[in-house]
Amino acid sequence: MRIDIITVLPEILESPLNNSILKRAQDRHLVEICIHNLRDYSSDKKHRHVDDYPFGGSAGMVMQCEPIDRAITHLKNQRSYDEVIFTTPDGERFSQPLANELSLCENLIILCGHYKGIDHRIREHLITREISIGDYVLTGGELAAVVMADAIIRLLPGVISDEQSALFDSFQDHLLAPPVYTRPADYKGWKVPEILLSGHEAKIREWELQQSIERTKRLRPDLLED
What backbone phi and psi angles, to 5 degrees, belong to 92? -65, 150
Q: Does 224 bind ligand ADE (CB under 6 A)?
A: no
Closest-CB residue for ligand ADE? 144
Query: Per rule CB under 6 A, is residue 7 in the interface with ligand ADE?
Result: no
Number of residues that bind ligand ADE (CB under 6 A): 12
Number of helices followed by number of strands (H, E) in the chain:
10, 10
From the CB of residue 219, how many other CB atoms can be counted at a distance below 10 Å? 10
87 counts as binding ligand ADE under rule CB under 6 A: yes
Q: Which stretch binds ligand ADE (CB under 6 A): 30-38, 54-62, 138-146, 180-188?
A: 138-146
When the beta carbons of 109 and 159 are compared against ligand ADE, the nearer one is 109
Q: What are the DSSP calls for 34-87, one per residue?
A: EEEEGGGG-S-TTT---EEPPTTS-SS-EE-HHHHHHHHHHHHTTS--SEEEEE
Classify 8 as helix, strand or coil: coil
Q: Does 113 bind ligand ADE (CB under 6 A)?
A: yes
Q: With binding defined as CB under 6 A, does residue 141 bind ligand ADE?
A: yes
> Beta strands of 127-182 (E only): which ranges?
129-132
Q: Which of 133, 146, 151, 153 binds ligand ADE (CB under 6 A)?
A: 133
Based on CB atoms, which residue is closest to ligand ADE, 24 or 120?
120
Window of 31-39, 84-92, 201-209, 217-225 that interacts with ligand ADE by CB under 6 A = 84-92
Nearest-approach distance from CB 7 to ligand ADE, in angstroms: 12
**Minimum distance between the CB of residue 123 and ligand ADE, rounded to whole angstroms?**
13
Binding mask 161-200 for ligand ADE (x = CB under 6 A): ----------------------------------------
Which of 47-50's residues contact partners 24+ apart within 8 Å by CB, and which partners? 50/8
For position 88 contacting ligand ADE by CB under 6 A, the verdict is yes
How far is Cα 189 from Cα 191, in angstroms, rounded to an integer? 6
CA 125 to chain centre: 23
Cβ burial 155-167 (10 Å sphere, 16+ → b, else e):
bbeebbeeeeebe
* Separation in Å, CA 210 to CA 1, 164, 191, 223: 37, 20, 19, 15
CB of 93 to ligand ADE, least distance (A): 9
Q: Does 111 engage in binding with ligand ADE (CB under 6 A)?
A: no
Residues of this chain that bind ligand ADE (CB under 6 A): 87-89, 113, 132-134, 136-138, 141, 144
